[in-house]
Amino acid sequence: MYTRIDGKEVSASVRNAITEKVNDLKAKGVTPGLAVIIVGNDPASRVYVNNKKKGCEQTGMNSFEYALPEETTTEELISLIEKLNGEKDVHGILCQLPVPKHIDEEKVLNTISPDKDVDAFHPVNCGKVMTGDYTFAPCTPAGMVEMLKYYNIPVAGKHCVIIGRSNIVGKPMAMLMLKENATVTVCHSRTENLAEITKQADILVAAVGRPKFVTADMVKDGAVVLDVGINRMEDGKLCGDVDFDAVCEKTSYITPVPGGVGPMTITMLLKNTLAAAENTF
């Protein structure tokens, strides 16, 4: 019998702890502040920004939104970020991705001060994640580690197989699991005999962006399966990168989609913002 990992429950627990620490900081005269920049009118981005604003309100943080028109230039965006880098009330800065195609995304992200880069996308913070000595970890991988700890799932000495090598999830997840003393294998689109490798995983992380990609024959009996994917099917329903119904009975723990990894991402963003505020002392 498997256990469904409840991302909403874990998220609520972490947010309660964040709220307590925010109250402690407020008593010292500091209110953690998150500045979120959104360029253009992408509906999905608007939903994400609204949820981040809501998360700030729930935990007692300040939320600063900068909604810029579609035609904003790279230079104008960089100028705003440089201004926010110097704002004392702003502890975290986030530029909602994707930005319009004419904007130089890399240049924009690299302008955010590493001390306020609560997404942990700046090369300085990527390097710190690599060495294991970091203040901010990328939010989705950090959320998965938090879930494993919440459910007391042992990681040290276990074989963790990650499908996907993105800079946002796959690569940093590998670093975080190494820090937890797992043995890590990263698979990707060029990996040969993929199922043979995934079947060796004690902990399997699916982050490929392909609906129901991971099937039962790819999973070891008793494995822990963490599904990062969010895919919309033709009938409008959401599903993950794992074929949940086919895979779940083989697992010991598994995250559903929706309600699994997803709720943790914004929660870890709030945790990073709190850490940034604490670092000002």
The verdict on whether 217 is a catalytic residue reads no
Does the CA dihedral 146-267-22-110 come out positive or negative? Answer: positive
Q: Which residue, 191, 138, 120, 136, is CA-closest to 162?
A: 191
Question: Which amino acid would we find at residue 140?
Answer: T
What's the rounded Cα separation, in Å, for the pair 260 and 9?
9
SS3 113: coil
Catalytic choice (115, 116, 117, 119): 119
Question: Which residue among 96, 117, 128, 202 is the active-site one?
Answer: 96
**Catalytic annotation present for 212:** no
AA identity, residue 106 = E
Cα(67)–Cα(59) distance, integer angstroms: 22
Helix (H, G, I), strand (E, B) or coil at 8: helix
Peptide bond into 98 cis (omega under 30): yes
Catalytic-role residue among 52, 128, 171, 271? 52
Helix (H) or strand (E) holding 83: helix 74-85
200 is catalytic: no
Residue with tokens 């710190």: 128
> How far does the chain reach from its first CA to its final CA, in angstroms?
48
**Residues with catalytic function:** 52, 96, 119
